Amino acid sequence: MNIGAELLRSVKEMKTRKKGRVTRVKVSWIVELRLKTGLSQTLFAKLLGVSPRTLQDWEQGRRQPSGAAKSLLKIAQKYPEALVELAA
């Protein structure tokens, strides 16, 4: 299991246990994609040809990818193993 996915699961569990309330943590599709690949923000950004700061802005919803970046992310979403293979 990759460490990012495990940490995210642990945070969700802690939020759920708090005073019997159920708290949903909304994670962007870009974060889910990156965690699915098991790549760090730095490496994921490098493979997409963007800065880590730009990736962080996308993940936190401050900005949206456009043009070629959005197309590349959609391809990576359908074939995440392709990014993992590029990273190797």
Contacts of 56 (CB under 8 A, 6+ apart): 41
Q: Is residue 30 part of a domain?
A: yes
Q: Is residue 11 part of a domain?
A: no
pLDDT value of position 8: 83
pLDDT value of position 14: 73
∠ at Cα 49 (44, 38), nearest 5°?
10
What 3-state DSSP class applies to 24? Answer: coil
CATH number of the domain to which 61 belongs? 1.10.260.40
- Owning domain of residue 57: 26-87
pLDDT tens for the 88 residues of the chain, in order: 578 888 888 887 776 665 666 677 788 999 999 999 999 999 999 999 999 999 999 999 999 999 999 999 999 999 988 888 888 7
Q: Is residue 19 part of a domain?
A: no
By C-alpha distance, which of 52, 51, 43, 27 is closest to 76?
43
Number of domains comprising the chain: 1
Q: Is residue 67 part of a domain?
A: yes
pTM of the model: 0.69
Q: Is residue 20 part of a domain?
A: no
